[in-house]
Structure 1
Amino acid sequence: MNVLIVVDMQNDFVSGALGTPEAREIVPRVVDRVEEGIRRGEKILFTRDTHETDYLNTQEGKKLPVPHCIRGTEGWEIVEPLQKYAEHPIDKPTFGSQYLGALLKARDEDLRRQGEPGVEQVTLVGLCTDICVISNALLVKAFLPEAEVVVDAACCAGVTPESHRAALAAMGPCQITVENET
């Protein structure tokens, strides 16, 4: 089984409080990659950065005092072109999702018990390369060390272009395959 994880493609990271031109630029490519994944029969999972109204009182809020992705707000929502594919996003209160890792590991074990190959490849796309994409890629690698973990660089954007490139470079030594790097 192959899995495509779409990380935090939310309004606040694209056009809202923490939006960037690079994030806006990747939206059509991420839509194309999701549609390609559907055609390939990949399991598609979406994550959604989720904070509560007390965000500024959290450790993250104290270090990044920009309220964003507050549950129930427009900024928290998945960007419109991807909403129809994101029926049940995985809400995560921090950068990496332990639930996502456990879900993938349980699915892998179920498939193997049934005599199937298990989760063979997990591809990640989305935002932000240098925070949530890298965190979830490393987490997936920890939960599924024998699966190929891939990050599609053309479908990711970081806080800055420099931090995007640095995160991609950091993933290689961790045995995460970076594709479509420009």
Structure 2
Amino acid sequence: MPRPKTYNEEAVLTSAMLCFWRKGHAATSMKDLEAATRLTPGSLYNSFGSKDGLFLKVLDHYIDCVVRHRVERFLLQGDPVKGIEQFFLDCFKPRAAYDGLGCLLINTSTELGPHDEAVRQKVAMGMKQAEKGLISALQRAQQVGALPATIDAQARAAHLGLLMNGMLVSSQVATNRRWLTPAMASVRALLH
């Protein structure tokens, strides 16, 4: 009979998420995960099976806690055009816990996407969630007259998604934030 969990799974996933986010999948060791989660190796293996099993759970957690939260906060309510701008700007807002880390999905897509089908599917799922939120915001903008009805919301959302992905990659190599002003001008050009 399996022993009941004696830890908060959400807290463990958040700690593991930050560890993977900071170091990347390959550079994160089980020792790093033990230190971050304060779980024994046995507890980690019993709960998640392997480092890869934990990583897939972490991606689900990231999609739910970070991506879904941001979509709901910025894209599904309020002024849709301002919401899209804030959705973009929020990615680059300094935060104590994960300042300068970029996006876990983008980081993962470049590290593991070409080699791991399960990871590729998780990353695509998270990106699809963001794209659906952008489509919704663009359609609401059309309904209130902030964007012309003739705009293809799906194509525009895909364009914005590609721009976001490029901005997230740029943020990882930039030595300052000067790139953000012209990048946001490109975003705004797609919203008028």
Q: TM-score scaled to structure 1, two decimals?
A: 0.33
Q: Higher relative CO (CA 8 A, sep ≥ 6), structure 1 or 2?
A: 1
